[in-house]
Each structure stands twice: as C-alpha cells, then as structure tokens.
Amino acid sequence: MMDNFNKEEILNILIEILKSDDPTKNLTRLLSRTAEILEADAATIVIWTGNLGVFHSTVNIPPEIPLRGRILSPDRGGLDGRLFNNQERIWIQLSNYSKNMDALPVLKPANFYLAVGGIINIRQSELTATICFYYKERTKKFQEEELKYFPIILTQLGIAILNAHLQQEFLSISELNQETTNFLDILVNSNPDIIINLDVNGKIKLWNDVAEKVLKYSAHEIINKFLPLKKGENEEKFINFLSEARKGKFIQNQELIFVPKKDSMNHKLINELIVEVSIIPINNQKGELESLLLTGRDITKTKDLQTKLHESSLKLNQKNIALSIKEQQLSQAQKELITAEKLASIGSIISKLNHQINNPLMSLLSLISLSLDDIKDWEENHLNKEIIDENLLNIKKELQNQLNEAINQGNRIREVLKKVRYFSEIATEKHFRDNTNLLEVISQSLQNFKNSEYANHMDISFISELEIALVYGNFKQLQFVISALIENAILAIEFNKEKEIRGKIELVLKPINLNKRRFYRFEISDNGIGITPEQKEHLYDPFYSNWPSPEMHVGLSLAIVKLIAINHNAYITVCSQEEEDSMFFNFNIQRGTKFILDFPSI
C-alpha cells in the first residue's frame, strides 16, 4: 500500500493538490487522492459542531446513498463517534460490520467491511473533523507500520479542511452580500422610477428594469456607455448637471430629453421622451466622489396632456374672444337696427313734413317773385317822371331787400327739404343697387372737388393700388357718402384757427380681411379742427351740427352717410386727434379727423 510512497512524496502530492484555486474542490480532491494512497474504496469527512456531526465531503460513496449532508450523532458508537469521543487517539479502525460501522443503515447496502479513521482538531477555528476510509474486500486490520504516514495525511487534510471552512465562511459572507445585492436589485428594479448609476464621467454602471422598459435598451447594450440623450442644447444641459453634481450639489426635478432605442421590428423611431430627473452624488467612506445616482420619471404623456390642456384652453379663450366679438357685433347691429328704425321713422315723418311744407313754400316763392316783378315794372313805368317821391323810393328799396332775403331763405328751405327728401328716400330704400366700382365713385367725387373753389387752397390726394373694387351698392348713394365726407373735411379745415397750415385731405382705398371675409376699407383724413368725444357721440344724429356757424350746414349729411353705410352692410368708425389715437393717422396728416368705412366686397 503506502510502501510505494515515501513521506516526502506523499507530502508533495498533497501540497500540490492544495495549490488549486478552489479550496472546496481541493478538499474533495485531496480526500480522493489520499484514498488512492491508502487503497481505500471510499472515504468521508465529518465536520463536528458541538455534539453533532455532518458528512461534509465524500469520495466514491454510491449516488443511491444520500450520505453527504447527513447529520451524525456520536452516541451511536460507530467509527466517527468513537473518534470524536476519544480525541487523544491518532487513529481507530473497526471491522465489526454488524455493530460498529458508522451510518449502518446507509453503508451496509454498499458492502463496506473495514474502516479506519483519525481525528483532526483545528484550534484556530475551533473545528473538529473525523476522516474515515472504507474497504469492501480487506478483512485484515492495519498495522501501525502501515499507518506511519497517517499523521501527515491528517495534517494536510486539516489544512484543506481549514481552507474549505474559510472558503465556506467567505462564501457565506458572499452569499450575504449577494442577498444584500439581490435585495438592492429587487429594490432598484421594483421601483417605478428609472434608476441609473453613473461613474464620475457620466458612463452607465447600473441600469434598472424600468430604464430598460422605458428606453428600450437592455443593460447589456447600455452598460459602460453614455446616456441616450437628444443632441444639442439638451446634451449640454446634462453636462452642466453633471458638472454641478461632481461638486456635491443635488440636481432635482430637471427635464431632459431621452432618445429610446430604434424599434428593430418596424424600423420606426420611437418618439423622444421627456424625463424628469434628479442626480445625487455618492461618496465613498473617504468622502471621495464614487458615482452619481440618477433617478427619473417619464413625464412625456403628462407634458402632452398639459400641452393639450393648454391648447384647449387657448382655443376656449379664442372662442370666448370670438363670442365676445360676436356679442359686441350683435350689440352694435342692434344699436344700428334701432338707429335705422329711428331714422326710417324720422324719414317717414319728414316725407310727410316735406309734402306739407313744400307746397306752401312754392306758393310763397311764387308770390314773392311776382312782387319783385311788379316792383320792376313799376320802376320802369316811372323812370321818365321828373319827380319821384323820396319816401316811395325808400319803401321800394327796403321792400326789395326784404324780398331778396325772402328769396334766399326760401332757397335755403328748398335745399334743406331737398336733403330731407333724399334722407327720406334712403331711409325707405328707394334706390336701385348693382355691382359698383368704388374706384369710379371716388374718382368722380374727386373730380367734383377739383372743380370747386376750395381746390386752390387745399391739397387732396388719393392712394390705392387696386385696379377694381367691386361692391354691391348704389352708385349715387356711395358718391354722396364720399362727397359728404370730403365736404365735412373741407369745413373742418375752413374752421381751423391755425390758418397758416395748408389744408390737407388724404383718401385711401385698400383691401382687408374681417372675420374671414374680404372688405374694402375707405379712409379719409384731414388736418382740420377735429372732434371731441362729446361731439362724436351725436355725430350721426339728424340735424346735429358742430360747426361754429350752424346756418352753413343743415346737419343731415353725416346722418345720411351713416344710413347709407348701414344699408350697404358697411362698418363706419371715426377717430380724432382729440382722442390721442395717432396710430390711425397718416404721417402727413398730423391732426384732425379720420373716417373709416369698411365695405363688403362681392
């Protein structure tokens, strides 16, 4: 048996086995090699804790015998028990199969007959171990000479057991660490937030399941790489966060845009994700920065919802504004309707009044005319007489003056009634309408001004880039509007106290869009005396005049203009320098009044 080996050879063999990196495997390999040297059929090692032993390592025990891990009691009186109870003995052997073999119920079926074993006490670790070798065919007990190297074997096995025990403790600590790691993994991966651990350079060291689910990158794909961020300002923003975190600052609730992995199935790029992130610096025991913990939550849907809510709010506000405008327009339309009804009622009354006044007036004018003719005839008949009564001449002169004044006043009344009749006709819609070119209307009105006495001491200009401006209206009525507004501008200039300023009137015609509909805007500006807010309130009232000499103006022109505008579905507004609204005035018209009419186009 061991005669084939000397002490040094056995020691070298066993030491060589102990050089392996795995202490747990070393113990089994060493036990196996020792069994070969002792020519044993099987071997076991039992580690004792207190009064209980556990089969720790086995060699050549048949697989059907579940021996390893089995608990052994020293009270059974078997080999391991005797060794444990007689620790002063170097070795003990037993050959009484029926009574003294350890683990009788499990070893008996394997037909082991002889067993020899020894005990090892490892005081450094307070360990006790029993090593036993089993034989099936050997019946002769071992002599002391045969077991002279047994102590060497036990010593090397003791070293192997100690290494294995230390390895086991290390594994236990590792298992504890693993359990802690597993717990942390569960904690990290069960968290509803994205959790990413970064090194100080921003490279990924840990990537939890939520990050994988949201950003579509597996941990294997992304570890040791940089975050999949949108390039440009967004990436620069993260670099600034990283710089601040390196200084020990916490970054809280900041938004970054991440770019998820491209979908390999349909090659569609998943939308960018907005993630609200916080970054916490992690220091080691020395207080040195070790890593950065980034936590985040996908708020893309929340932001989308906020955006949609904001858009809905804007649309609602726009609708409210539109509704408010509609209400204002309705209110204005109602006012205009009331005005139109009032004007129509006035027009009806005036029509009757005109009829009642016109006939007597015509009779009066005829009688006065006849009287003047009679005076003329009388004068011709008495011119050759030498004596003319002086009183009679005075009477004649005075009567002639009075009759002339009567004629003037009668003509004025007739002019007033002419406008009243025109106002009545408009109020009762007696004028035909057709497609009308506003450019022609304005041109003809301007021609009338150029032929007037005011053309020499006033400048009037017309600005328009249009070639045609068709509206549905009555040419004469529209011409009245333009002419009346030009006349109003002339009067405003005439009554301007600053006579040294040359009068200027400017006409503009241009296309605009109102409420998604095309209009033609006509503007007329002057540098006259302007109007006050109080005057503006009554500007369109019939027979209202704000001129210093009211007898020069009847006060119906602007009322007719307003009525024509209403009948043509046009909007009319007026502003004056008195309102300090300079945005309405042309650079060349420094003060005065501006009328604006918006006519719907065809």
The 114-122 sheet, strands edge to edge = 71-72, 52-59, 42-49, 127-135, 114-122, 91-94
* pLDDT value, residue 429: 58
Cβ(95)–Cβ(113) below 8 Å: yes
Mean pLDDT by runs of 10 across the 602 residues of the chain is 54 58 70 84 84 80 73 68 80 64 53 82 74 84 78 76 67 59 56 87 92 91 94 93 92 93 63 91 87 92 85 86 84 73 62 62 71 71 59 71 74 74 64 90 92 85 95 93 93 77 93 93 94 86 72 74 91 77 45 93 92
Q: Are residues 222 and 275 in the same domain?
A: yes
| Residue 581 confidence (pLDDT) | 45
Tell me, yes or no, whether 410 and 442 share the same domain. Answer: no
Same structural domain for residues 494 and 583? yes
For 247-299, where are the alpha helices, taking DSSP H only? none
pLDDT by residue (tens digit) across 271-306? Answer: 789 999 999 999 887 888 999 999 999 998 888 888
User: How many distinct structural domains can be found in the chain?
Assistant: 4
Q: Is residue 180 part of a domain?
A: no
Are 160 and 198 contained in the same domain?
A: no
CATH number at residue 204: 3.30.450.20
Q: Which domain holds residue 443?
A: 432-600
Q: Which of 454, 533, 439, 534 is nearest to 486 (CA)?
A: 454
Query: 276 pairs with which residues across the strands?
Result: 255, 297
Q: Note whether 424 and 354 are within 8 A (CB).
A: yes
Domain assignment present for residue 183? The answer is no
Which CATH number covers residue 482?
3.30.565.10
Asked if the structure places residue 208 within a domain, the reply is yes
Amino acid at 199: D
Q: 245 with 126, same domain?
A: no
Residue 517 located in a structural domain: yes
Query: Distance between CA atoms of 488 and 562, rounded to whole angstroms?
Result: 14
Q: Which two tokens stand for residue 349?
A: 């009354």
Kindly give the residue spans of alpha helices, DSSP state H, lying in 382-529. 390-427, 438-450, 475-494
CA-wise closest residue to 568 among 422, 463, 431? 431
Residues 342 and 259 in one domain: no
* Gap between the Cα atoms of 489 and 448, Å rounded: 14
Instruction: In whole angstroms, give the CA distance from residue 88 to residue 181.
Output: 46
Give the pLDDT score at 256. 95
Which of 427, 451, 473 delimits the end of a domain?
427
Do 405 and 466 lie in one domain? The reply is no
Residue-wise pLDDT for 374-429, tens only, equals: 677 766 766 555 555 666 677 677 777 777 777 777 777 777 777 777 666 665 55
Any idea what the CATH number is for the domain that residue 154 is in? 3.30.450.40
Distance CA(123)–CA(393), nearest Å, equals 168
Structural domain includes residue 142 = yes
Q: What confidence tens digit (pLDDT) does each residue in 71-88 have?
A: 776 655 567 877 888 888
Domain boundary among the residues 112, 137, 171 is at: 171
Is 437 in the same domain as 421?
A: no
Domain boundary among 276, 298, 320: 298
The beta-carbon contacts of 325-332 under 8 Å, at least 24 apart in sequence, are: 325/515
Token duo for residue 188: 């990290």
496 with 558, same domain? yes
Instruction: Give the rounded distance of the alpha carbon of 279 from its chain centre.
Output: 24
